[in-house]
Structure 1
Amino acid sequence: MEMGKEYIVLRGCGAISPLGFNEVTTAQSYTSGQPAFKTILHQNQPTPVAALSVDAENTLQQLIKANPAYKNLDRSVHLAIYAARQAAEEAGWLRSDHVLHDDLGVNIGSSRGAAGLFEQHFEAFQQNDLSAAASPTTTLGNLSSWVAHAVNAGGAQISHSITCSTALMALANGMAWLKAGMATRFLAGGTEAPLTDFTIAQMKAIGIYSKRDSHTFPCQPYAVAKQNTFVLGEGAAVFALELVAETELKKGDVILEAIGLGFEQIGSKTGISKEGLNFQKSMRHALSQLSEKDPGIELIITHTPGTYAGDSAELAALAAVFGAEAPAITTNKWLTGHTLGASGGLSVEFALHILRHQKFPAPSYPTSIQATAPASINRVLVNAAGFGGNAASIVLRQW
């Protein structure tokens, strides 16, 4: 007997970012189009960053206080736990019986991992005062294991890093595990807490960090001016995935329809060509998985971190893949900054917001692109790319 078609459905979404800490607060930020940047003094220089709001920070601290063990964990783990619990609750998976669910897998990734704790413990090491907690609290495995504890997941626990494509790769892993029958439910996403002295200094050393600290929009993807306006932000986004038969889908369900991966040989320290070959490969890979009867994409959420070389390469890739028939494009980084390993996840959250509300805010500074929303948006392609030459593209479709 022939099996019916099955789809990966996003049963829940959890996120915390400079824009909000739940669906309501984040939607309000997108509706207002107000950026979430503030200026700090970093090494005596005014530096723009995108940090959690006061309300979001207070909500996160409530979570940390609820479990004494959390206080010794890195901020990246705190953000992941918060987002994962939110996603699991929306999916109806969060229970208080503390019974492990062996069918529930977890894959949480990060570009930098426990950056804050690494810096703290290294400073203690220099003063001959290194704590025994240094190793267990800075291992990348904390991201998945502590999330598993928080949601009673007894299945696969995967932590990984593929730089800024990390969150989309977690979704790819979740899809693979579900389709292989190695799990029946999966939590996948990315988290990043990079607003630390050393991490900010690293981005400045590359020469990409925005110097527009006094501007309302210090991060300006697609800007008309030839400039670098990269700004670091923090946050996490996690998604509850489930394999569902086509006959069980309901109107409004959002499915993870395709995932494409791309790679190009590194030609520079940031690993991207002028043609955006990695993006070309990842987008074509994703598009090849769509039905020939209905291959249309209404909107693309680009990676575009506000760097001149990166933005230009991705726009070149879009032109190469879509030509004159290119869909509308947008991004959320002019509001959130670049959250590294969490950025792809927050772009997916943005996509869900757009599918739900059928609109998105346009940048309020001179850009080289048109950001007008199509009359109807049912399918969104999300891009991400990272140092090393990798790229990932996913397609979300509203049923």
Structure 2
Amino acid sequence: RPISSFDASNFRSRIAAEIDFEPSEHGLSRREIRRMDRAAQLAVVATREAMADSGIDLDKHDPYRVGVSVGTAVGATMSLEEEYQVVSDSGRLELVDHDYAVPHLYDYLVPSSFAAEVAWSVHAQGPTTVISTGCTSGLDSVGHAVDLLREGSADVMIAGACEAPLSPITLACFDAIKATTPRNDDPEHASRPFDNTRNGFVLGEGAAMFVLEELTSAQRRGAKIYAEVGGFGSRCNAFHMTGLRPDGAEMAAAIGVALDEAGTDASDIDYINAHGSGTKQNDRHETAAFKRSLGEHAYRTPVSSIKSMIGHSLGAIGSIEIAASVLAMDNNVVPPTANLHTADPECDLDYVPITARDWKTDSVLTVGSGFGGFQSAMVLTTPERGVG
């Protein structure tokens, strides 16, 4: 829909996947709302919902063994930009006037405040980290949390990602490199991953958080276990800040690591949750990576991009896509790639166009690709072994 949080009339792309979120309606106090950037608010609310759904009682755990891992690409850009307008008199002052700065300006400056807010909300005092690897942040934060559990550094991890990037400076960044779509007259159909008429992504916002623990721990307390994190891999192309090699080698390498760690054969993958940003180079790059890593099985495996429906929330999207992948397994339904009517000839896999599909799904590969050359992959399976 058209951006409503600020005047975007002079921008190339003037639409976004804004969410209807009023923090006071989700249990945040006035003090918390004043203190937190919108992304932190989303993370804390998502954390509380995840905790309630998990049924875990952290009072029964050593707080020093409960950790937090939060991903974000752009941090508190929205709040920082708003406060700069105040302290610089809308840019008219060469030196900012600190007398007009809010006490929480430092919180907006450092992305680590997001993890601190989540830790504070659940009284977690274990290893607490912010992961900022562009658009793979949401995958990488969960992958890092799993590593901490497996190495014995924590018993419980609260992990996921958040992003509220809808600000003039963020929109300008993507406008400058023409990464966002200018299809402003048709917002609902603007995001078209793998379609021959695609011309960029729709910027979005959101958060997804998870409670992670060893499978046996979750089983002992009778928790509903949605999925097992089988394996995780991450690589960098060391090539270009925004460019991608057309052969998909680095993403394929990350996929290979995730498959090996999971002890899963490529032929066991039932569904691929693609990064599918809707840019020309990304969708072709991914298609090549899937063929490279899965071989002929890639042609028999449903692939889809939920960005076609909810936009691209940068650092948060990897965690949101994990949630979508988990629910695909839980319901045995593969989400569609909306707005896909005429596939790019170079994107010749089964992208589940337009309509969701009933599909037995026991093993999912979900991937991410981020500016800076970051490539990440995670294998999720039905809960039988490892980390739940």
In structure 2, the residue matched to 1:3 is none
Q: 1:123 to 1:67 in 2, by over 3 A?
A: closer
Matching residue within 201, 206, 229 for 1:230: 201
Shift of 1:111: 0.2
Q: 1:129 to 1:229 in 2, by over 3 A?
A: same
Q: Aligned partners of 1:246 and 1:193: how far apart in 2?
A: 34
Aligned pairs (5 A) from 1:162-173 = 162-173=133-144
For the residue of structure 2 that corresponds to 1:288, the secondary structure is helix
Q: Is it true that 1:44 corresponds to 2:10 in the alignment?
A: yes
1:70 aligns with 2:33: yes
Say which is worse superposed, 243-252 or 191-200, in terms of deviation: 243-252
What SS does the aligned partner of 1:167 have?
Answer: helix
Residues 1:365 and 2:349 are matched in the alignment: no
CA–CA distance in structure 2, aligned partners of residues 398 and 133 of structure 1: 43
Give 1:137's match in structure 2, choosing from 96, 105, 108.
Answer: 108
Summarize the Cα distance change of 1:208–1:94 in structure 2 as closer, same or farther, 3 Å threshold: same
Specify the SS of the correspondent of 1:212.
coil
Aligned match of 1:260:
233
Deviations 1:108-140 (A, max 9, x none): 120000011110222223224431432233311
> Residue 354 of structure 1: CA displacement?
0.8
Compared CA separation, residues 103 and 305, structure 1 to 2 (3 A): same
Q: Could you tell me which residue of structure 2 aligns to residue 93 of structure 1?
A: 56
Q: 1:190 aligns with which of 153, 161, 165?
A: 161
Task: List runs of 5+ in structure 2 lacking aligned partners.
Answer: 90-95, 344-348, 384-388
TM-score (norm 1): 0.82
**Correspondences of 1:380-399 after superposition (within 5 Å):** 380-399=364-383
Are the counterparts in 1 of residues 68 and 129 from structure 2 also a CA contact under 8 Å? yes
The alpha-carbon distance between structure 1 residues 100 and 124, as it changes in their structure 2 partners (threshold 3 A), is farther
Q: Which amino acid aligns with 1:319?
A: K
Aligned mates of 2:217, 2:32 — CA distance in 1: 42
User: Superposition pairs for residues 1-399 of structure 1, below 5 Å?
Assistant: 37-40=1-4, 41-45=7-11, 47-53=14-20, 57-58=21-22, 60-63=23-26, 65-93=28-56, 101-127=63-89, 128-130=96-98, 131=101, 132-215=103-186, 216-225=188-197, 227-245=198-216, 248=219, 253-266=226-239, 268-291=240-263, 296-326=268-298, 327-362=301-336, 363-368=338-343, 369-372=349-352, 373=357, 375-399=359-383
Whether contact under 8 Å (1:263, 1:277) holds in the other structure is no
Q: Percent identity?
A: 25
One-letter amino acid matched to 1:223: D
* 1:213 to 1:191, Cα distance in 2 relative to 1, 3 A: same
In 2, are the aligned partners of 1:287 and 1:295 still within 8 Å (CA)?
Answer: no
**Letter aligned with residue 375 of structure 2:** A
Q: Which amino acid aligns with 2:50?
A: A
The Cα RMSD (Å) is 2.5
Match of 1:17 in 2: none
Unaligned runs of 5+ in 1: 1-36
Deviations along 1:239-260, whole A, 9 cap, x unmatched? 1100124994889641001101
Q: Deviations over 1:143-171 (max 9, x none)?
A: 11111111121211111201111111111
Change beyond 3 A, Cα 1:155–1:67: farther
Q: Name the one with the larger strand percent.
A: 1
Give the Cα separation in 1 of the matches to 2:62 and 2:264.
42
Change (3 A) 1:112 1:293: closer
TM-score (norm: length of structure 2): 0.85
Task: Tell me the residue number matched to 2:92.
Answer: none
Q: Which moved more, 1:44-53 or 1:147-156?
A: 44-53
Report the residue type matching 2:153 in the other structure: M
Please tell me whether the aligned partners of residues 98 and 152 of structure 1 are also in contact (alpha carbons under 8 angstroms): no
